[in-house]
């Protein structure tokens, strides 16, 4: 029996690992009855894989049997792989025992579709219900809803789960019909809208009544596969933008496509597009925390993110007329836009300049990355060659290759790979 469990775990963890989300933050589940677990606020990464990703949740499929045949997916029905399925009790037992040993923050449950969407969804709901009611488990639970499952089952899942997600996977309808013939956008967007409305309604009820059970209190998220189809970065961030605005999503995850098959419909790549994925995340952050609009970062003339430099620096180089910014007088919003100044340094600049006029040395000690920032700011009249006097290429080259330039490990690694290949 133990060997069987171990084999199932191997198969079903391996099949679930391409889901990028491992967030365990934003839950509002307090342990109030001396039960097991507590999931308030901050997420915890209990371990990290050798590829540097956070391991926060027990991320597994209930089963990798699937009636769908999506080309990018390892569990598609035409793939000749070992299949396995957990029972409800096995998942519950694993979750509880991993949690008690402080291995994990909770469970991320997803599944291949067997029999029918509702049949599958019903099993997922049964697991989370059992954890919450019979085991009084207050850890974090993320449930991926099954495309095509009924409204009632999704509503029930939301009562027990902290987060619900519907994966879009392919960023355009055309790609979806080519690569995932059994899926369609309507089946993805309908449950997304339902979850959005459920969350809004739940918040309104909570404002009125004290004891209202939560509904997906850590919000809803989705994932886009990058590089399996031909969309531009502009298309992707436009889609992201509409998801944040139109569907109130908490997070959009990007998963660099890793070749899982030699299907002729898919590009024959050998390396996952790690840098592109990284730049998309940076852009996502600029839109959510730095006040950037999607069309400021990319436009039809520049439909792709620059792989060599981060999107904020790229924006600054295209908009040199707004620099240099004087950090001792500029608005918070403008300081945030200086390359090399993160949200934390920007806040510190605003706070510290009430006490003293800031100079370059203080900025460095506040955590500003002067290597990049020095071209774009002034303080106390100190400044590097004024940005207006240098061409875009000059600044770019100095930052990338000048003295003290450090490229991120990620970029170096992938650029090395290019060098080896050529």
Partner 1 sequence: MKPIRRPASLVGGAARSRPAPALTATPLDYTYDGTFEGLLTVLFSIYESKSPPNSIQPEATAQSGLFAQPAHRETDEARATRVWEGLLKTMDAEARARLYHVFLSEDADRELLVFRYVDLALRSPVDVAENYANADVRRVQRLAQMMFREKHRMEAFVRFEKTSDELFHATIEPDMDVLPLIAAHFTKRYADQRWLIYDRRRHYGLYYDLTRTDIVQFENPTGQKSTDISATVLDEREPLFKHLWQTYFDHVNIPERKNLKLHRRHMPLRYWKYLSEKQPREVRFEPIKNKQVIVGKEVSAGQKLLPPPQ
Residue 6 or 391 having the CB closest to partner 1: 6
The least distance separating partner 1 from the CB of residue 392, rounded to whole angstroms, comes to 27
Least distance from partner 1 to the Cβ atom of residue 9, Å: 5
- Report the residue number, 130 or 190, with the smaller CB distance to partner 1: 130
Q: How far is the CB of 388 from partner 1 (least distance, A)?
A: 27
CA 169 → CA 105, 226, 229, 253, 290, distances in Å?
25, 8, 10, 10, 26
Burial 294-330 (b: 16+ CB within 10 A, else e): beebbeeeeeebbeebbbbbbbbbeebeebbbebeeb
Residue 369 in contact with residue 340, Cβ under 8 Å?
yes
C-alpha distance from residue 189 to each of 20, 163, 183, 247 (Å): 20, 17, 11, 9
Task: Retrieve residue 335's tokens.
Answer: 């300081």
Between residues 259 and 390, which has the closer beta carbon with respect to partner 1? Answer: 259
Sequential DSSP letters for 364-381: HHHT--HHHHTTTEEBTT
Q: Which is nearer to partner 1, 172 or 261 (CB)?
A: 261
Residue closer to partner 1 (CB basis): 215 or 257: 257
DSSP 270-318: SS--HHHHHHHHHHHHHHHHS---HHHH-BTTB-S--SSS-HHHHHHHH
Measured from the CB atom, the residue of 64 and 194 that comes closer to partner 1 is 64
Report in angstroms how near the CB of residue 45 gets to partner 1 at its nearest: 6
Smallest distance from partner 1 to CB 395, Å: 26
- If you search the block for the tokens 């910014």, which residue do you land on? 325
Cis, peptide link before residue 324, omega less than 30° from 0? yes
Residue 83 or 318 with smaller CB distance to partner 1: 83
Q: Name the residue nearer to partner 1 (CB basis): 5 or 174.
A: 5
341 half-sphere exposure, CB direction, 13 A CA radius: 25
| Rounded least distance, CB 315 to partner 1, Å | 15
CA dihedral 345, 347, 349, 352 (to 10 degrees): -120
Measured from the CB atom, the residue of 274 and 369 that comes closer to partner 1 is 274
The helix, strand and coil proportions of the chain, stated in percent and rounded to the nearest 5, come to 45, 15, 45
Distance CA 239, CA 232 (A): 11
Cβ 209 to partner 1 shortest distance, Å: 25
Structure tokens at 381: 């009249």
Instruction: For the CB of residue 50, give the shortest distance to partner 1 in the complex, in Å.
Output: 5
| Residue 268 CB, nearest approach to partner 1 (Å) | 12
Q: Over 394-410, what HEC string results?
A: HHHHHHHHCCCCCCCHH
Q: Which is nearer to partner 1, 178 or 190 (CB)?
A: 178
Quote the distance between the C-alpha of residue 31 and its chain's center. Answer: 27
The tokens describing 356, both together, are: 């003293």
CB 324, min distance to partner 1, A = 21
């Amino acid at each position: 029996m133990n060997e069987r469990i171990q084999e199932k775990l191997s198969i079903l963890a391996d099949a679930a690992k391409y889901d990028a989300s491992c967030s365990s933050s934003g839950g509002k589940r307090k342990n109030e009855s001396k039960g097991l677990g507590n999931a308030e606020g901050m997420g915890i990464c209990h371990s990290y894989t050798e590829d540097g990703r956070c391991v926060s949740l027990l991320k597994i499929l209930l089963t990798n049997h699937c009636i769908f045949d999506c080309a990018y997916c390892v569990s598609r029905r035409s793939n000749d792989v070992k299949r396995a399925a957990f029972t409800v009790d096995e998942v519950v037992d694993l979750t509880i025992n991993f949690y008690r040993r402080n291995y994990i923050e909770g469970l991320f449950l997803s599944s291949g579709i067997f029999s029918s969407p509702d049949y599958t969804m019903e099993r997922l709901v049964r697991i989370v219900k059992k954890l919450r009611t019979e085991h009084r488990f207050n850890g974090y639970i993320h449930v991926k809803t099954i495309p095509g499952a009924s409204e009632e089952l999704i509503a029930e899942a939301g009562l027990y789960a902290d987060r619900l997600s519907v994966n879009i996977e392919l960023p355009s309808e055309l790609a979806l019909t080519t690569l995932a013939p059994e899926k369609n956008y309507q089946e993805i967007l309908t449950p997304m809208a339902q979850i959005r409305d459920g969350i809004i309604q739940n918040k309104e009820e909570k404002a009125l009544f004290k004891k209202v059970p939560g509904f997906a209190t850590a919000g809803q998220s989705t994932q886009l596969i990058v590089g399996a189809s031909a969309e531009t970065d502009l298309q992707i961030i436009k889609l992201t933008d509409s998801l944040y605005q139109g569907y109130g999503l908490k997070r959009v995850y990007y998963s660099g496509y890793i070749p899982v098959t030699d299907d002729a419909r898919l590009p024959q790549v050998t390396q996952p597009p790690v840098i592109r994925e990284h730049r998309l995340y940076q852009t996502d952050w600029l839109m959510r925390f730095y006040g950037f609009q999607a069309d400021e970062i990319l436009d039809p003339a520049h439909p792709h993110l620059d792989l060599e430099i981060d999107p904020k620096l790229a924006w600054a180089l295209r908009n040199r007329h707004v620099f240099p910014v004087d950090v001792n007088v500029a608005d918070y919003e403008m300081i945030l836009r200086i390359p090399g100044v993160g949200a934390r340094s920007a806040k510190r600049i605003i706070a510290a300049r009430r006490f003293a006029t800031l100079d370059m040395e203080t900025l460095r000690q506040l955590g500003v990355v002067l290597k990049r920032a020095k071209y774009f700011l002034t303080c106390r009249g100190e400044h590097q060659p004024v940005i207006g006097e240098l061409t875009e290429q000059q600044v770019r080259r100095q930052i990338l290759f000048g003295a003290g330039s450090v490229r991120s490990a990620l970029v170096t690694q992938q650029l090395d790979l290019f060098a080896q290949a050529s």
